[in-house]
Amino acid sequence: MSDHAEIVEVGLRDGLQNERTPVDATTRARWFNALADAGLNRIEAGSFVSPKWVPQMASTDQVIAGIQRRPGLSVETLIPNQKGLDAALASRVDRIAVFTAASDAFTQKNINCSITESLERFAPLIEAANNAGLRVRGYISTIAACPYAGRIQPGAVADVTERLLGLGCDDISLGDTTGVARPREIDAILDAVLPLVPTERLALHCHDTYGQALANVLQGLERGIRTFDSAVAGLGGCPYARGASGNLATEDLLYLLEGQGLHTGVDLEAVCRIGNDICHRLDRRTPSKVAQAMQC
Ligand code: HMG
Ligand code: MG
């Protein structure tokens, strides 16, 4: 099994999309560049969604314009529709992510359509992105539970996984949107999904609402997953999932992965310092235990 683990840094998207006060594009670009300097090479710069729905992600194009491109760095954004894809192409991102869920109720709240409608909408977008040479991620939210529909069956996650792969997604990120899952539930979801997709094309996206994110990562590691989403300073939530607190903190994830003998190429102390800067700006204390302990 590979001794390398990959982190997809989602703080500037999943984190900032939930902040009451939007952060200006220049500051977001500065944080992006600092995260890349720290060794993170897959970073979400924001999302091209409707500013009426998520005003915090407005001016993602200006964030991307301020990014120092470098070999090996993947600039990534979420897109929900053609308008989003057009903006992503104009900004020359490296990877787009389409996003749906294993729950129709959540999909309706999040992107105003059913799961099936979302997949019908994504099909030509994924094809166009592939033709333009972009990588495409498919997010599946509410893999364990939905804030509107309750528990989700692993089979529903497997079904959406199969459909997204069939449309041409390169990789699938399994999102525990409200952070309620525990390792046994993750295990059951992976039992259903792993027969359909090799571990190299899967990521776990854990929110830490119930403090289970690291345990779930460990479960994912045991099952062979090596890509994990996390957010510097544990930023995060989801505007359409009340009670969804921050993502797993990148600092905590790095500490775990290094301790398990997995190489990430990311400088933990540097990420802690960026987290401090972000927390200072947002006037809050970091939820990351590792950042608290290291006091960088
Ligand atoms: P709608 O209202 O059904 O769409 O929203 P519409 O086509 O009627 O458009 C409404 C208005 O938005 C129009 O403007 C469009 O032009 C504009 P108007 O004519 O009224 O002036 N618009 C756009 N503007 C800029 N960029 C666009 C765009 N699209 C439309 N791409 C829509 C449907 C999908 C657009 C909307 O629901 C939306 O933007 N939703 C985004 C929700 C979102 O960002 N959620 C958070 C990300 S998902 C997440 O966090 C979970 C994840 O982290 C994994 C996990 O934790 O589970 C990934
Ligand atoms: Mg999320």
| 135-147 confidence digits (pLDDT tens) | 999 999 999 999 9
Dist CA 205 CA 178 (whole Å): 11
Reduce the DSSP state of residue 6 to 3 states and report it: strand
- Name the pLDDT band for 6 (thresholds 50, 70, 90): very high
Q: Is the pLDDT of residue 1 over 60?
A: no
Q: What is the mean pLDDT of the chain?
A: 96
Cα of 90 from ligand 1 centre, angstroms: 18
Q: Is the pLDDT of residue 236 over 90?
A: no
pLDDT of residue 19: 87
**Is 12 inside any structural domain?**
yes
Lowest mean pLDDT among 10-24, 90-104, 238-252: 238-252
Cα of 45 from ligand 2 centre, angstroms: 14
Dist CA 47 CA 87 (whole Å): 10
**What is the pLDDT averaged over residues 83-90?**
98
**Is 149 inside any structural domain?**
yes
**Is 84 inside any structural domain?**
yes
Is residue 98 a contact partner of residue 79, using CB atoms and an 8 Å limit? Answer: yes
- Name the pLDDT band for 237 (thresholds 50, 70, 90): low
Q: Is the pLDDT of residue 160 over 70?
A: yes
Determine the atom of ligand 1 nearest the C-alpha atom of 111: 37
Using a 10 angstrom Cβ sphere, with 0-12 exposed, 13-18 middle and 19 or more buried, the burial of residue 84 is buried
| 283-293 confidence digits (pLDDT tens) | 988 999 999 99
The ligand with the least distance to the CA atom of 121 is: 1
The residue from 146, 169, 238, 279 that is catalytic is: 238
- Residue 1 corresponds to which amino acid? M
Q: Is 247 in the pocket of ligand 1 (CB under 6 A)?
A: no
- Residue 78 corresponds to which amino acid? L
CA-based end-to-end distance of the chain: 33
Q: Could you say which DSSP state residue 77 is in? A: E
pLDDT of residue 164: 98
**Is 71 inside any structural domain?**
yes
| Number of independent structural domains in the chain | 1
Q: Which CATH number belongs to the domain containing residue 135 in this structure?
A: 3.20.20.70
Question: What whole-number percentage of the chain has pLDDT above 70?
Answer: 97
Which domain range does residue 76 map to? 6-294
Strands, E, within 48-179: which ranges? Answer: 74-78, 95-101, 135-141, 145-146, 150-151, 171-176
What ipTM, to 2 d.p.?
0.98
Pocket test for ligand 1, best of 49, 112, 161, 205 (most atoms within 8 A of CB): 49
Dist CA 191 CA 15 (whole Å): 29
Determine the atom of ligand 1 nearest the C-alpha atom of 141: 57
**Is 104 inside any structural domain?**
yes
Dist CA 184 CA 202 (whole Å): 18
pLDDT of residue 20: 85
pLDDT of residue 240: 67
| 240-274 confidence digits (pLDDT tens) | 666 667 899 999 999 999 999 999 999 999 999 99
- Name the pLDDT band for 21 (thresholds 50, 70, 90): confident
pLDDT of residue 244: 60
**Is 290 inside any structural domain?**
yes
- Residues 6 or more apart whose Cβ sits within 8 Å of residue 91: 48, 60, 61, 64, 65, 75, 77
Strands, E, within the chain: which ranges? Answer: 6-9, 42-47, 74-78, 95-101, 135-141, 145-146, 150-151, 171-176, 202-206, 227-230
pLDDT of residue 245: 72
Identify residues whose C-beta is under 5 A from ligand 2, the ion. Answer: 14
Q: Is 16 in the pocket of ligand 1 (CB under 6 A)?
A: no
Q: Is the pLDDT of residue 78 over 90?
A: yes
Would residue 169 show up in a list of annotated catalytic residues for this protein? no
**Is 27 inside any structural domain?**
yes
Reduce the DSSP state of residue 254 to 3 states and report it: helix
**Is 1 inside any structural domain?**
no
Cα of 39 from ligand 1 centre, angstroms: 31
* Count of other CB atoms within 10 angstroms of residue 100: 28
> For residues 222, 209, 31 and 69, what is the CA-based torsion angle, rounded to 10 degrees?
40
Cα of 50 from ligand 1 centre, angstroms: 4
| 191-223 confidence digits (pLDDT tens) | 999 999 999 999 999 999 999 999 999 999 999
What per-residue string of b and e applies to 104-127 under the rule 16 or more CB within 10 Å gives b? bbbbbbbbebebeebbebbeebbe
**What is the pLDDT averaged over residues 224-250?**
85
